[in-house]
Amino acid sequence: MTIEPPTTAPLPGSVEAPVLEARGVTKRFAGVTALRSVDFAVRPGESLALMGENGAGKSTLIKVLTGVYQPDEGELLLGGSIAKFARPLDAQRAGISTIYQEVNLIPLMSVAQNIFLGREPRNRFGLIDFTKMVADARGLLDVYGIDVDVRKPLRSLALGVQQMVALARSVSINARIVIMDEPTSSLEAREVETLFSVVSLLREQGIAIVYVSHRMDEIYRVAERIVILRDGAVVRVGQLSDIPRVELVSLMLGRSVEKVRRSGSTAFSATNASTAPPVLVAEDLSRRHQIDGVDMQIRPGEVVGLGGLLGSGRSETLKAIAGVMQLDRGRVTVDGKPVRSGSVPAAIRAGIVMLPEDRKAEGIVPNLSVRDNIVLAALPRLSHAGFSSRRNQDAVVEVFMKRLHIKASSPDQIVSELSGGNQQKVMIARWLAMRPKVLLLDEPTRGIDVGAKAEVQALIDELAREGLAIVLVSSEVEEVVEGSGRVIVLRDGSIETELQGADVDEEHLLAALAGVNE
């Protein structure tokens, strides 16, 4: 199955009738109104951005559009006639596809099987025609310039490639509308470019794109119209060219334009250099195919950015230091004392803690309370002879919930009910309760709303000022540059260069990431 060349290419931003429309959609959950009479329309061949803070109702709206939820009031119109989706399959059959930030396919099945899952080509015996399936899958991926062995299991591919496979799958199901929910959050720069070219390809074919992202650069590149949600209601619909960035942020936050402009777009203050002797020294960290000879020294009170594209070894470097990953070579010392490598408990005892990248799978324990999640690592310290002490726990939990402004109904609330930003704060609290010396942060603000992001950034600043040594990995150039005093740039598992002082800016970092010599 390949993509046919467009027959009648509609003009971008045409005033054609909407292909999908929501009228007065209201959705309530146990008394909480998640969507308040939302009107929403997307036309064929159009790329429409959907923005809003977490909790603004984006996810709920997407779930209504894709049949996961049914609206309490209002209706959906598909091509002008009323549509009722009782379940996600109905929406899919109607031509609405969704690309989630987390790849929603089957890791152990082959790429080809994933692409044709549920609609495998059959031979004349009614059995799956594997030869044809593999050929079709290859043809489909070729269109997007994705060169992989389609017989390999999906999980053997990089996350970014997996997502392109998901995209190829949904487009090949004759989608009329593709909803992309933070599609680039795990893509490399090169893959983002591929994605964007696929988006324009789709639009030429008259497919409508609904693009959800926290990244403003992308929104302005990809979309022409925008719907901004806040507190479950639409606060603005318009052409993106009419809405400057600062206004967009202020609309999402519900704050005045002046205030946003004054505070800048990240919450980092000026960064401070430190002259104390290094607390963390890592030498020659190496592991086959992942990192090779990485050295670094981090002083108390400084935030060191670890730059690099996906696959450059930045997360692996953090994992090596935190004892999560076994090393072939290399050593880590804290305050001059060697830390046993490849052991998380040893690293934690030495004062090294890491906030993992994948908060849902590696960070929170979803079915436990906020309290239990915060004290998880510190439990033995808060116990007497193996018996856990509620009083000790409450003291710690209270301090951190207050300090990090964790919004939960009580410490007993189940952590998975919290917003992403608050979950991240719970994770940070878990580590601060260990009184660490070195804090390794892997994408601390990924996938959390603008408000929580600013709070986390301000917190990183504050912790550094209190003397913590912090290593910051972020795929957002702006965050690395504004948050770090210096930046170590990795490329293909080795240190490419280190930016210091005045060189710590977006221009130099981008050049270093791209491997361009100055």
Partner 1 sequence: MTEQTMTVSLPTRGVGLGILQTYGVYLAIIVLLLYNFFFTPNFFNIGNFRTQFVQVVPALIVALGMALVIGTEGIDLSVGGVMALAAAVMPLYIGYGLIPVVMIAIVVGGLVGVINGSLVAFIGVQPIVATLSLMVTGRGIALLIAHEQLVSITDPTILAIGRGTVVGIPCSMIIAVVAVLLIAVLVNRTTFGKQLIAIGGSRRAAELSGLPVKRILLMVYILCAVLAAIAGIIGTARLGASVPSTLGNLIELSAITAVVVGGTPLTGGQVKVIGTIAGAALLQFISATLNQHNVPDAYSQIAQAIIILFAVYIQRGRLAVR
Is 47 or 60 the residue whose CB approaches partner 1 more closely? Answer: 60
Amino acid in the structure at residue 401: M
Binders of partner 1 among residues 165 to 204 (CB under 8 A) are none
β-sheet bridge partners, residue 48 = 210, 225
Longest CA–CA span in the chain (Å) reads 75
> Of these, 77, 100, 153, 255, which contacts partner 1 (CB under 8 A)?
100
Q: Is there binding between residue 362 and partner 1 (CB under 8 A)?
A: yes
CA distance 359 to 257: 32
Number of C-alpha atoms within 13 angstroms, CB side, residue 503? 15
Is 102 or 204 the residue whose CB approaches partner 1 more closely? Answer: 102
Taking phi over 0 as left and psi of -120 to 50 as alpha, with beta for the rest, 412 belongs to alpha
Q: Is there binding between residue 109 and partner 1 (CB under 8 A)?
A: no
Binders of partner 1 among residues 451 to 480 (CB under 8 A) are none
End-to-end CA distance of the chain: 46
Rg (the chain; Cα; Å): 24
Is residue 439 within 8 Å of residue 471, measured between CB atoms? yes
> Of these, 80, 264, 345, 515, which contacts partner 1 (CB under 8 A)?
345
Q: Is there binding between residue 413 and partner 1 (CB under 8 A)?
A: no
Q: Is there binding between residue 372 and partner 1 (CB under 8 A)?
A: yes
> Of these, 380, 391, 502, 517, which contacts partner 1 (CB under 8 A)?
380
Query: Counting beta carbons within 10 angstroms of the beta carbon of residue 489, is it exposed (0 to 12), middle (13 to 18) or buried (19 or more)?
Result: buried
Number of C-alpha atoms within 13 angstroms, CB side, residue 365? 11
CA distance 458 to 404: 10
Is 356 or 451 the residue whose CB approaches partner 1 more closely? Answer: 356
Nearest residue to 19 (alpha-carbon basis) of 155, 127, 177, 129 = 177
Shortest Cβ 200–partner 1 spacing (Å): 27
Shortest Cβ 66–partner 1 spacing (Å): 9
Total number of residues that touch partner 1 (CB under 8 A):
40
Q: Which two tokens stand for residue 393?
A: 């726990």
Amino acid in the structure at residue 298: I
Binders of partner 1 among residues 65 to 94 (CB under 8 A) are 68, 87-88
Shortest Cβ 362–partner 1 spacing (Å): 5
Please identify, among the stretches 192-200, 238-246, 266-274, 383-391, the one whose residues bind partner 1 according to the rule CB under 8 A: 383-391
Please identify, among the stretches 237-245, 289-297, 340-348, 494-502, the one whose residues bind partner 1 according to the rule CB under 8 A: 340-348
Q: Is there binding between residue 342 and partner 1 (CB under 8 A)?
A: no
**Residues in touch with partner 1 (CB under 8 A):** 63, 68, 87-88, 100, 102-107, 322, 324, 344-345, 347-348, 354, 356, 358, 360-368, 372, 376-377, 379-380, 383, 386-388, 416, 430
